[in-house]
Amino acid sequence: MTTLADRQQDAANPRGLQCGAVPTAALLSFRLGGNDGVSIEAAKWAGALQHLGWDILTVAGAGPVDVRLEGLGIDAPSPPTRQELVDALAPADLVVIENLCSLPLNPPASALAAAVCAGRPAVLHHHDLPWQRPNLAHMPPPPDDPSWAHVTINHLSRRELAGRGIAATTIYNSFDPNPPVADRSRARSALGLEPDVRLLLQPTRALPRKNVAGGLNLATAVGGTYWLLGPAEDGYGPELDRLVAGARCPVLLGAGTARLGIAEAYAACDVVLLPSTWEGFGNPALESATYRRPLAVGPYPVARELAAFGFRWFDSAVPAPLETWLGHPDDALLEHNHRVAATYFNVADLPARLADVLATLPTPSR
């Protein structure tokens, strides 16, 4: 049987191609191109697929995409028509469904995507699963089809899918081990910080599971300033306002008037906070290593899975060890964590991991 991997291999060798032979992969989601974790990892997959010789088409309900179908959005009142989605995906040899069929935030759109992709090669990239959210635990598992492959971002989700009769492969989120280095002094000056201020960065949105209260408590305990980079979502704004009003440490919210980027944020901070009770992966855990910053992490289950690779992290609920480290910083810890991240979570390895998944998929009839 000719597989998509065969076509991908041909595409990487243009001498053997006729005009139009390069395959197209469509990335399909609620939203793409933003700063949320799904969008960030989808962009890395797009880059890896391009490295393997694929053209990329992006289709979503929101974001800077090639085809925008607003009915795919999380808050859309109704899904696209079947024909709209069929037409949007018509150029694609492969559909990569980024969480749209994983987390039922727009069930009619999820059902439509599953129906339109039935019988054609697709990879369902699962960042979250319904039973991992208390308010969605009653929802059924993701759809399945013989023409599809399922990929999870952690082994916990892979095992949970297996228990529901769905076989999956784990591909961890991946990272550039040598990201751009920003000017620390300039970034801190833009935030109005004195050189000796301890800055604890929580580079997440504000949601109940992100445990903003835990981050504020740790910043208070070590005499630091708490910086929450992302906005409140899902109606969490009033609770965030209440927490900030009662904070016993200085608080910064958002990117500031200078609109600092992620590299500037990591350069400016002294500690990265991820006090979450649940994350599907938790990109800041790995970003802290690539940017060489200490991490204070919460008790979310996937953190234990990642820590097993050898990371040396601080417990966000136990201030004393972090306080001691901040008093006498040890670069050896930072370099150790950087080596672990570069060895096991390197974005340069993503194309080969994706190629293994593509090798299991049949070529569609076109």
Q: With the C-alpha atoms ordered 20, 28, 94, 53, is the resulting torsion angle positive or negative?
A: positive
Verify that 153 and 217 share a domain, yes or no: no
The domain tally of the chain equals 2
**Same structural domain for residues 219 and 337?**
yes
For position 98, which CATH number holds? 3.40.50
Does residue 197 share a domain with residue 72? Answer: no
Q: Report pLDDT digits (tens) over 238-265.
A: 999 999 999 999 999 998 766 899 999 9
Domain containing 207 — which CATH number? 3.40.50.2000
Give the type of residue at 343: T
The answer to whether position 366 is within a domain reads no
Question: Is 85 within a domain?
Answer: yes
R_g of the chain computed on alpha carbons = 21
Whether residue 316 is found in the same domain as residue 329: yes
Q: Which residue has the tokens 């082994």?
A: 155
Domain housing 142: 4-174+347-358
191 DSSP assignment: T
Q: What is the pLDDT of residues 120-155, one digit of tens each?
A: 999 999 999 999 998 899 999 999 999 999 999 999
On whether residue 364 sits in a domain, the answer given is: no
Kindly report, residue by residue over 181-211, the tens digit of the pLDDT.
999 999 999 999 999 999 999 999 999 999 9
| pTM score of the predicted model | 0.91
Are 191 and 256 spatial neighbours (Cβ–Cβ below 8 Å)?
Answer: yes
Contact 283, 40 (CB under 8 A): yes
Classify the C-alpha dihedral 32-38-42-44 as positive or negative.
positive
In a domain, 159, yes or no: yes
Report whether pLDDT(8) > 50.
no
Q: Which residues contact 145 (CB under 8 A, 6 or more apart)?
A: 114, 117, 118, 119, 122
The C-alpha atoms of residue 362 and residue 25 are separated, in whole angstroms, by: 14
What pLDDT, on a 0 to 100 scale, did the predictor assign at position 364?
A: 57
Q: Are residues 31 and 113 in the same domain?
A: yes
Q: Are residues 194 and 283 in the same domain?
A: yes
Q: Is there a single domain that holds both residue 13 and residue 122?
A: yes
